[in-house]
Amino acid sequence: MANKVALVTGAGQGIGEAIAKRLAKDGFSVVLVARHMDKLQEVADEIKKNGGEAFPVTADVSKREEVFAAVQKAVDQYGDFNVIVNNAGVAPTTPIDTVTKDDLDYVYTINVYGTIWGIQAAHEMFKKLGHPGKIINATSQAGVVGNPNLTVYSSSKFAIRGITQVVARELAEEGTTVNAFAPGIVKTPMMYDIAHKVGQNAGKSDEWGMQTFAKDIALKRLSEPEDVANAVAFLAGPDSDYITGQTLEVDGGMQFH
Protein backbone atom coordinates (compact mmCIF):
# COMPACT_ATOMS: atom_id res chain seq x y z
CA MET A 1 0.00 0.00 0.00
CA ALA A 2 1.23 3.54 -0.80
CA ASN A 3 2.40 5.74 2.07
CA LYS A 4 -0.04 8.25 3.50
CA VAL A 5 0.95 11.84 2.73
CA ALA A 6 1.45 14.51 5.41
CA LEU A 7 2.34 18.18 4.89
CA VAL A 8 4.09 20.02 7.74
CA THR A 9 4.50 23.81 7.71
CA GLY A 10 7.47 25.43 9.43
CA ALA A 11 9.41 22.21 8.85
CA GLY A 12 12.86 23.80 8.44
CA GLN A 13 13.70 23.88 12.16
CA GLY A 14 12.41 23.39 15.69
CA ILE A 15 9.16 21.57 16.34
CA GLY A 16 8.19 21.33 12.65
CA GLU A 17 11.48 19.64 11.80
CA ALA A 18 10.96 17.10 14.62
CA ILE A 19 7.37 16.44 13.49
CA ALA A 20 8.46 15.91 9.87
CA LYS A 21 11.18 13.46 10.91
CA ARG A 22 8.83 11.54 13.20
CA LEU A 23 6.04 11.27 10.61
CA ALA A 24 8.56 10.05 8.03
CA LYS A 25 9.69 7.40 10.53
CA ASP A 26 6.05 6.40 10.98
CA GLY A 27 5.79 5.74 7.22
CA PHE A 28 4.30 8.97 5.90
CA SER A 29 5.60 10.61 2.74
CA VAL A 30 6.25 14.06 4.17
CA VAL A 31 5.97 17.39 2.37
CA LEU A 32 8.12 19.98 4.14
CA VAL A 33 7.00 23.59 3.87
CA ALA A 34 8.70 26.85 4.92
CA ARG A 35 9.87 30.02 3.22
CA HIS A 36 13.51 29.06 2.63
CA MET A 37 14.58 26.06 0.56
CA ASP A 38 18.08 25.66 2.06
CA LYS A 39 16.89 24.53 5.50
CA LEU A 40 14.05 22.44 4.07
CA GLN A 41 16.44 20.68 1.73
CA GLU A 42 18.75 19.80 4.64
CA VAL A 43 15.87 18.27 6.62
CA ALA A 44 14.58 16.42 3.54
CA ASP A 45 18.06 15.04 2.81
CA GLU A 46 18.38 13.78 6.37
CA ILE A 47 14.97 12.08 6.23
CA LYS A 48 15.90 10.38 2.95
CA LYS A 49 19.28 9.32 4.30
CA ASN A 50 17.40 7.52 7.10
CA GLY A 51 15.17 5.69 4.63
CA GLY A 52 12.17 8.06 4.71
CA GLU A 53 10.36 9.93 1.96
CA ALA A 54 10.39 13.74 1.91
CA PHE A 55 9.69 16.53 -0.56
CA PRO A 56 10.57 20.17 0.22
CA VAL A 57 8.30 22.98 -1.04
CA THR A 58 8.69 26.69 -0.33
CA ALA A 59 5.60 28.69 0.67
CA ASP A 60 4.74 31.61 2.92
CA VAL A 61 1.77 30.42 4.97
CA SER A 62 0.41 33.97 5.24
CA LYS A 63 -0.25 33.87 1.47
CA ARG A 64 -3.35 31.85 0.70
CA GLU A 65 -2.42 31.04 -2.90
CA GLU A 66 1.02 29.75 -1.85
CA VAL A 67 -0.52 27.38 0.70
CA PHE A 68 -2.99 26.03 -1.86
CA ALA A 69 -0.11 25.62 -4.36
CA ALA A 70 1.93 23.68 -1.78
CA VAL A 71 -0.93 21.25 -1.19
CA GLN A 72 -1.34 20.80 -4.94
CA LYS A 73 2.41 20.10 -5.25
CA ALA A 74 2.10 17.45 -2.54
CA VAL A 75 -0.54 15.65 -4.58
CA ASP A 76 1.41 16.08 -7.84
CA GLN A 77 4.41 14.49 -6.12
CA TYR A 78 2.78 11.68 -4.16
CA GLY A 79 -0.73 11.22 -5.64
CA ASP A 80 -2.61 11.59 -2.35
CA PHE A 81 -3.04 13.87 0.66
CA ASN A 82 -4.06 12.78 4.15
CA VAL A 83 -2.71 15.05 6.91
CA ILE A 84 -1.83 18.72 7.30
CA VAL A 85 0.11 20.01 10.31
CA ASN A 86 -0.31 23.78 10.48
CA ASN A 87 2.78 24.29 12.63
CA ALA A 88 4.47 27.46 11.28
CA GLY A 89 4.25 30.40 13.65
CA VAL A 90 5.97 33.53 14.94
CA ALA A 91 6.18 34.85 18.50
CA PRO A 92 7.47 38.39 19.00
CA THR A 93 7.60 39.67 22.56
CA THR A 94 4.93 42.39 22.88
CA PRO A 95 4.33 43.93 26.33
CA ILE A 96 0.85 45.48 26.15
CA ASP A 97 1.93 49.14 26.00
CA THR A 98 4.20 48.48 23.02
CA VAL A 99 1.72 46.67 20.77
CA THR A 100 1.38 48.19 17.29
CA LYS A 101 -0.86 47.49 14.33
CA ASP A 102 2.20 46.11 12.54
CA ASP A 103 2.73 43.57 15.36
CA LEU A 104 -0.89 42.47 15.07
CA ASP A 105 -0.77 42.21 11.27
CA TYR A 106 2.52 40.29 11.35
CA VAL A 107 1.46 37.71 13.92
CA TYR A 108 -2.14 37.27 12.83
CA THR A 109 -1.38 36.91 9.11
CA ILE A 110 1.04 34.06 9.87
CA ASN A 111 -0.40 32.34 12.95
CA VAL A 112 -4.13 32.77 12.36
CA TYR A 113 -4.60 33.41 8.64
CA GLY A 114 -1.89 30.83 7.86
CA THR A 115 -3.76 28.20 9.86
CA ILE A 116 -7.03 29.02 8.14
CA TRP A 117 -5.44 28.86 4.67
CA GLY A 118 -3.92 25.50 5.59
CA ILE A 119 -7.29 24.16 6.75
CA GLN A 120 -9.04 25.42 3.62
CA ALA A 121 -6.41 24.00 1.25
CA ALA A 122 -6.42 20.61 2.98
CA HIS A 123 -10.21 20.43 3.08
CA GLU A 124 -10.53 21.34 -0.59
CA MET A 125 -8.04 18.58 -1.44
CA PHE A 126 -9.75 15.96 0.78
CA LYS A 127 -13.01 16.73 -1.07
CA LYS A 128 -11.33 16.45 -4.50
CA LEU A 129 -9.71 13.16 -3.54
CA GLY A 130 -13.00 11.86 -2.11
CA HIS A 131 -11.72 10.84 1.33
CA PRO A 132 -11.42 12.41 4.80
CA GLY A 133 -8.18 13.49 6.43
CA LYS A 134 -6.65 14.87 9.57
CA ILE A 135 -6.03 18.53 10.32
CA ILE A 136 -3.63 19.35 13.15
CA ASN A 137 -2.99 22.91 14.33
CA ALA A 138 -0.24 24.32 16.56
CA THR A 139 -1.51 26.28 19.51
CA SER A 140 0.51 26.67 22.74
CA GLN A 141 0.25 26.55 26.52
CA ALA A 142 0.14 30.33 25.93
CA GLY A 143 -3.08 29.71 23.99
CA VAL A 144 -4.63 27.99 27.00
CA VAL A 145 -3.60 30.48 29.68
CA GLY A 146 -2.53 34.10 29.09
CA ASN A 147 1.25 34.62 29.21
CA PRO A 148 2.72 38.01 30.22
CA ASN A 149 4.62 39.89 27.49
CA LEU A 150 2.96 37.82 24.75
CA THR A 151 -0.37 39.65 24.24
CA VAL A 152 -0.36 39.34 20.47
CA TYR A 153 1.06 35.82 20.25
CA SER A 154 -0.99 34.40 23.12
CA SER A 155 -4.20 35.81 21.65
CA SER A 156 -3.38 34.33 18.23
CA LYS A 157 -2.96 30.91 19.87
CA PHE A 158 -6.29 31.26 21.72
CA ALA A 159 -7.80 31.93 18.29
CA ILE A 160 -6.32 28.72 16.93
CA ARG A 161 -8.02 26.67 19.65
CA GLY A 162 -11.31 28.34 18.74
CA ILE A 163 -10.81 27.69 15.04
CA THR A 164 -9.97 24.05 15.81
CA GLN A 165 -13.21 23.56 17.73
CA VAL A 166 -15.38 25.24 15.10
CA VAL A 167 -13.88 23.41 12.13
CA ALA A 168 -13.97 20.08 13.98
CA ARG A 169 -17.74 20.47 14.16
CA GLU A 170 -18.04 21.60 10.54
CA LEU A 171 -16.02 18.72 9.08
CA ALA A 172 -17.07 15.93 11.44
CA GLU A 173 -19.76 14.49 9.20
CA GLU A 174 -17.19 14.01 6.44
CA GLY A 175 -15.01 12.01 8.85
CA THR A 176 -12.22 14.59 8.92
CA THR A 177 -10.79 15.21 12.39
CA VAL A 178 -9.42 18.58 13.51
CA ASN A 179 -7.23 18.80 16.60
CA ALA A 180 -4.57 21.05 18.07
CA PHE A 181 -1.39 20.48 20.05
CA ALA A 182 -0.25 22.89 22.76
CA PRO A 183 3.49 22.67 23.44
CA GLY A 184 4.95 24.05 26.66
CA ILE A 185 8.45 25.50 26.78
CA VAL A 186 10.36 23.86 23.96
CA LYS A 187 14.08 24.15 23.17
CA THR A 188 13.81 25.81 19.75
CA PRO A 189 15.08 29.06 18.22
CA MET A 190 11.66 30.65 18.92
CA MET A 191 11.78 29.97 22.66
CA TYR A 192 15.43 30.97 23.06
CA ASP A 193 14.62 34.27 21.34
CA ILE A 194 11.65 34.94 23.67
CA ALA A 195 13.76 34.11 26.75
CA HIS A 196 16.48 36.48 25.53
CA LYS A 197 14.06 39.37 24.92
CA VAL A 198 12.17 38.94 28.21
CA GLY A 199 15.48 38.74 30.09
CA GLN A 200 16.86 41.76 28.25
CA ASN A 201 13.72 43.87 28.89
CA ALA A 202 14.07 43.15 32.63
CA GLY A 203 17.83 43.79 32.62
CA LYS A 204 18.39 40.13 33.45
CA SER A 205 19.89 37.03 31.82
CA ASP A 206 18.45 34.73 29.14
CA GLU A 207 18.24 31.99 31.79
CA TRP A 208 16.15 34.30 33.99
CA GLY A 209 13.93 34.99 30.98
CA MET A 210 13.52 31.26 30.37
CA GLN A 211 12.66 30.60 34.02
CA THR A 212 9.81 33.14 33.96
CA PHE A 213 8.14 30.63 31.62
CA ALA A 214 9.62 27.34 32.86
CA LYS A 215 9.30 27.61 36.65
CA ASP A 216 5.92 25.85 36.79
CA ILE A 217 6.75 22.75 34.73
CA ALA A 218 5.78 19.82 36.97
CA LEU A 219 8.19 17.44 35.24
CA LYS A 220 11.04 19.89 35.92
CA ARG A 221 12.65 19.95 32.49
CA LEU A 222 12.27 21.96 29.31
CA SER A 223 10.60 20.20 26.39
CA GLU A 224 12.52 18.69 23.52
CA PRO A 225 10.93 19.19 20.08
CA GLU A 226 10.58 15.39 19.95
CA ASP A 227 8.22 15.43 22.96
CA VAL A 228 5.82 17.44 20.80
CA ALA A 229 6.42 15.31 17.71
CA ASN A 230 5.38 12.21 19.70
CA ALA A 231 1.99 13.77 20.41
CA VAL A 232 1.52 14.96 16.83
CA ALA A 233 2.33 11.44 15.59
CA PHE A 234 -0.61 10.22 17.70
CA LEU A 235 -2.93 12.89 16.27
CA ALA A 236 -1.79 12.04 12.71
CA GLY A 237 -2.23 8.29 13.13
CA PRO A 238 -5.22 5.92 13.42
CA ASP A 239 -5.14 5.72 17.24
CA SER A 240 -6.71 9.21 17.38
CA ASP A 241 -9.55 8.47 14.94
CA TYR A 242 -12.23 9.00 17.60
CA ILE A 243 -10.79 12.32 18.82
CA THR A 244 -11.76 15.68 17.32
CA GLY A 245 -11.93 19.33 18.39
CA GLN A 246 -9.38 18.75 21.16
CA THR A 247 -6.21 20.49 22.23
CA LEU A 248 -3.56 18.06 23.40
CA GLU A 249 -1.33 19.84 25.92
CA VAL A 250 2.28 18.66 25.75
CA ASP A 251 3.79 20.85 28.44
CA GLY A 252 5.28 18.60 31.11
CA GLY A 253 2.39 19.49 33.42
CA MET A 254 2.35 23.29 33.38
CA GLN A 255 -1.39 23.32 33.96
CA PHE A 256 -4.05 20.73 34.66
CA HIS A 257 -7.72 20.75 33.60
Ligand X SMILES: NC(=O)C1=CN([C@@H]2O[C@H](COP(=O)(O)OP(=O)(O)OC[C@H]3O[C@@H](n4cnc5c(N)ncnc54)[C@H](O)[C@@H]3O)[C@@H](O)[C@H]2O)C=CC1
Q: Taking contact as CB under 6 A, which single stretch among the options 12-20, 26-34, 183-191, 201-209 is the one that binds ligand BUO?
A: 183-191
In sequence order, the β-bridge partners of residue 54 are 30
Beta carbon of residue 101, minimum distance to ligand BUO (angstroms, whole number): 22
As a whole number of angstroms, the distance between CA 128 and CA 99 comes to 41
Is 157 among the catalytic positions? yes
Among 52, 89, 118, 199, binds ligand X (CB under 6 A): 89
- Of 32, 74, 142, 180, the one binding ligand BUO by CB under 6 A: 142
Q: Which of residues 184-203 bind ligand X (CB under 6 A)?
A: 185-186, 188-191
Stretch that binds ligand X, among 58-66, 69-77, 97-105, 171-179 (CB under 6 A): 58-66
Does residue 94 interact with ligand X by CB under 6 A? no
Among candidates 61, 59, 23, 63, which has minimal Cα distance to 44? 23
CA–CA gap between residue 117 and residue 230 (Å, rounded): 25
Contact window for ligand X (CB under 6 A) among 42-50, 116-124, 172-180, 182-190: 182-190
Q: Which of 153, 197, 204, 215 is catalytic?
A: 153
Site for ligand BUO contains 140 (CB under 6 A): yes
Q: Identify the burial level of 111 via C-beta atoms within 10 angstroms of its C-beta, where 0-12 means exposed, 13-18 middle and 19 or more buried.
A: buried
Q: Answer whether 206's CB lies under 8 Å from 199's CB.
A: yes
Residue 202, number of CB atoms within 10 A of its CB: 12
- Pick from 91, 168, 171, 178: which binds ligand BUO (CB under 6 A)? 91
Distance CA 134, CA 244 (A): 9
Which residues contact residue 51 at a Cβ distance below 8 angstroms, ignoring those fewer than 6 apart? none
* Active site positions, annotated: 153, 157
Return residues touching ligand BUO (CB under 6 A): 91, 140-142, 147, 185, 190-191, 194, 213
